[in-house]
Amino acid sequence: MDSKSLPSLVLCVAFTFGAAPLHAQQSPAANPLDNVPEKMPADIPYGAPITLERAEAAIAAAVIEAKKRDWKLNVAVVDSGGNLVAFQRMDGAQLASIQISEHKARAAATYRRETKAFETGIQSGATYLITLDGLIASRGGIPLIEAGKLVGAIGCSGGTGSQDEVVCTAGAATVK
């Protein structure tokens, strides 16, 4: 092999094995996860667990909203520790959604944010979210905040995510 063909051979081998010439390499794009926020996200303090009476009132408001729209849903309320306090399955509501409504409520309480945040995160490419225990990336789970403290969460399931969210919002509005 002569000295004139050596540079061509090196270039061919580099491209074959995935290496690019040094002048063509670019620095990687900044990772948005490397951003260090000044404050903790969703830093809502835990409050006393929601009472059964308040949980039932939230469910009643959610069911009224669902009936108004002729939607058949399951509605669950958990306390600030993610423990089930109250549940209602509307007549004809999808059976698989029983566990999903509880899961949405539990995730909203545990992570102290709406489950819509996880749905949005997954859709925008934050695939690391799927590694988190107890997560559900579907809207319809909303924390219940009273006097700035998390007292529980409500979860709705059985419709589309947006339908579940509308009904949950009505239930969450009973807790101020």
Contacts of 57 (CB under 8 A, 6+ apart): 174
Residue in 68, 93, 67, 92 with CA at minimum distance from that of residue 76: 93
Predicted local confidence at residue 23, as pLDDT: 58
Domain hosting 56: range is 52-172
Predicted local confidence at residue 29, as pLDDT: 79
Predicted local confidence at residue 26, as pLDDT: 77
Predicted local confidence at residue 1, as pLDDT: 56
CA 18 vs CA 8, 64, 86, 104, 156: distances in Å: 16, 60, 57, 44, 49
Residue 145 domain-assigned?
yes
- CATH number (domain holding residue 106): 3.30.450.150
The label of the residue with tokens 């600030």 reads: 80
What's the total number of domains in the chain?
Answer: 1
Residue 44 domain-assigned?
no
Residue 31 domain-assigned?
no
The label of the residue with tokens 């094995």 reads: 17
Residue 163 domain-assigned?
yes
What is the value of pTM for the model shown? 0.79
Residue 46 domain-assigned?
no
Residue in 115, 116, 118 with CA at minimum distance from that of residue 127: 118
Sheet strand arrangement including 149-157:
84-89, 74-79, 149-157, 141-146
Predicted local confidence at residue 128, as pLDDT: 87
Residue 10 domain-assigned?
no
Contacts of 148 (CB under 8 A, 6+ apart): 44, 45
Written as six digits, the tokens of 106 are 């539990």
Predicted local confidence at residue 34, as pLDDT: 80
DSSP-based three-state secondary structure for 152: strand
Predicted local confidence at residue 102, as pLDDT: 98
The whole-number mean pLDDT for each consecutive block of 10 residues of the chain, a chain of 176 residues, reads 53 48 69 80 91 98 98 98 98 97 97 95 89 93 97 98 98 94
Residue 9 domain-assigned?
no
Residue 42 domain-assigned?
no
Written as six digits, the tokens of 58 are 């939230």
